[in-house]
Structure 1
């Protein structure tokens, strides 16, 4: 049976079904048992499964990540939750030097099957220490699988797949997605951790995006459609590995690609996707690829600067239209102003 449920409800349901089906799993994180339950994704789980399976943790990310590693080596399958990716920075040593390399260092005889949820996103001037998107940083580390589910359906299915996987998996969740809805089966199911999804078909330009920027790309595709340009939108979903065959096949149909990511443009996901596409499909490109991401400066706190900092659907649409020599056909409201300030998308329902 499928129903329309919210992204955070899908993640909460995945947690509950994982905990109920496998006694070796547990959930741990700062605020996990709290009244808001990490944007609702863990709310009430401790009451349902007990303090031994759903644990709060101190502000000691490095040490508790080591605990998660140790228990995974003893047969557990922990889910470690960081309410902000910025907090996870404190756990880089065990994550990068130990967890990512464990399987390799021991010749495949030992594994570290743990899942780490990291929350990204912006809003209300949270500034440089609470709104970063560091997925490219972790995707650079061999041994880690990095995924970014965009829909409620994928959020549930990819979390279930991550916990079942013997590799360490990092899931990045944008907090502006928690209020979005999609059709989600009530039973347990898996979504592959290595496949992109084509979420809109088109013939003129490929828009490839991650996480929340997939929603902005869909909005951009509608703007472009209004002036006769049909954009194909690809939700990357997985960063390691990137689904190059799906991207290449799309570019070979459209001849153009714009890549949009929630992180910084330089040395990031956009650059890697464009490199992969040019290596495989260069002869099919009709114009130079474009990348849409954050500028190479820390996140500003003031609304006046944030309005100029974050790319939106209008930026994606302008880049695509320019490729086709159609910028002059865009409405003035598209070319002259942003759609959103640094305030939550209307789908965001809080709590903060």
Structure 2
């Protein structure tokens, strides 16, 4: 009897669990493993990310509470050290506690979801408000549209960003256009948040690696938000749930457990319309968001040491509509700009940012705007590390831009 092939959905959890390397069957396979290693021995640039020491995470309560974007209450409160998926869980828990209109639903979320972001919420708030849906992205987003139109605050989870495409019609043609087509009637679905894990994890291959954010930035009526850390995830998600616009909230899944920092215990809200200057500088501006910010930070540290330069790093946070003022002010000061993102270069977020800089700050530029992004190809498992930007590619872009 023929063996039944497991579905892609059934393999999701298996694919994303850490696995011991397979024993090579021959010398050639051993050589291949060395050839395609993510970090060569004694590599100066492309080493592993030191999350425990990186400057773009808050490692002390003092650092976290010094954030001027926090409310006075939050700045005078306590913090605790948590990872990104726990920060998402805390934001959802607070929203459910404080607003009876909030609903949380998606595939397997009643049990915590693939990444455990919804752990224990169904037990605390009941399955009338936290519940599983059938394996139908179009169906669960369609339900979310109806719930939001009736005044609810639905938070719908797409299990992986790679699975959002069946729901793209609902998002583009219904979610984004609802307010516009309703005219002066006041009808809208502005209370809707669609969460999804996105991006590379190192072994996700074709269907667990994609970063489709650029598709949503071409849709008027949506906000598209991508947090880089636990503090950002909690504050931006709470703001997204409170927002009167529909929000696409994309969570870099490799950071769920890797990124750990001190996060305010109390609820707090971060702005959805402001980029954040993570590091000031005067010679060059790097604009990025999500996971590549860690790559940029490492490249900046190496470049500043080698070239004696001073580089500004900006986190867009909300990539649509993005904060043009902060970016343009920075580029007019530094005269040079690089945009870095994990998704493909062609028609990506970097293209829009680069075009805007060229249009609005052309006379202040000392070099062409450079983009460092994923290559325009599907992500094969064996070659994933070569497709997304690494520290060396960002470092080279810095050198070329400074030397121009």
| TM-score, structure 1 normalization | 0.89
CA-based RMSD? 1.3
Give the aligned partner of residue 350 of structure 2.
Answer: 270
> Matches of residues 98-137 of structure 1 in structure 2 within 5 Å?
98-108=174-184, 109-112=186-189, 113-137=191-215
Q: How does 1:54-133 map onto structure 2 within 5 Å?
A: 54-108=130-184, 109-112=186-189, 113-133=191-211
Within a 5 Å distance, the mapping from 1:287-298 to structure 2 comes to 287-298=367-378
- Give 1:124 deviation, angstroms: 4.3
Does the Cα contact within 8 Å between 2:107 and 2:113 map onto a contact in 1? no
Structure 1 residue aligned with 2:394 = 316
Query: What is the SS of the residue equivalent to 1:33?
Result: helix
1:83-115 Cα deviation digits (max 9, x unpaired)? 211111111111111111000000151110200
2:294 aligned residue = 215
Partner Cα distance (1:97, 1:44) in 2: 34
Deviations 1:272-310 (A, max 9, x none): 0111111111111100011011111111122xx223212
Cα offset, 1:262, TM superposition: 1.6
Question: SS in structure 2 opposite 1:187?
Answer: coil
CA distance in 2, matches of 1:176, 1:307: 13
Matches within 5 A, 1:1-352: 1-34=78-111, 36-108=112-184, 109-112=186-189, 113-179=191-257, 180-227=259-306, 228-302=308-382, 305-325=383-403
> Residue 125 of structure 1 contacts residue 300 of structure 1 at CA under 8 Å; is this kept in 2?
no
* Distance in 2 separating the partners of 1:308 and 1:63: 36
Give the whole-Å Cα distance in 2 for the aligned partners of 1:131 and 1:31. 20
Moved runs in structure 1, 4+ residues, more than 6 A? none
Q: Tell me, yes or no, if the aligned pair for 1:294 and 1:311 is still in contact at 8 Å.
A: yes
Contact 2:331 / 2:365 at 8 angstroms: preserved in 1?
Answer: yes
**Could you tell me how far apart the structure 2 residues matched to 1:185 and 1:306 are?**
35
Report the count of equivalent residues. Answer: 323
Please give the alpha-carbon distance, in whole angstroms, between the structure 1 residues aligned to 2:384 and 2:321: 32
SS of structure 2 residue aligned to 1:324: helix
Q: 1:171-206, CA deviations, whole angstroms, 9 ceiling, x for partnerless residues?
A: 111111112123321111111111100011111111
- Give 5+ residue unaligned stretches, structure 1: 327-352
Where structure 2 has 5 or more consecutive residues not aligned to the other structure, the ranges are: 1-77
For residues 159 and 28 of structure 1, the distance between their equivalents in structure 2, rounded to whole angstroms, comes to 15
2:188 aligned counterpart, secondary structure: coil
SS of alignment partner, residue 275 of structure 1: helix
The DSSP-based 3-state class of the residue aligned with 1:226 is helix
Q: Secondary structure at the match of 1:149?
A: coil
Task: Output the TM-score relative to the length of structure 2.
Answer: 0.78
Of the two, which has the highest radius of gyration?
2
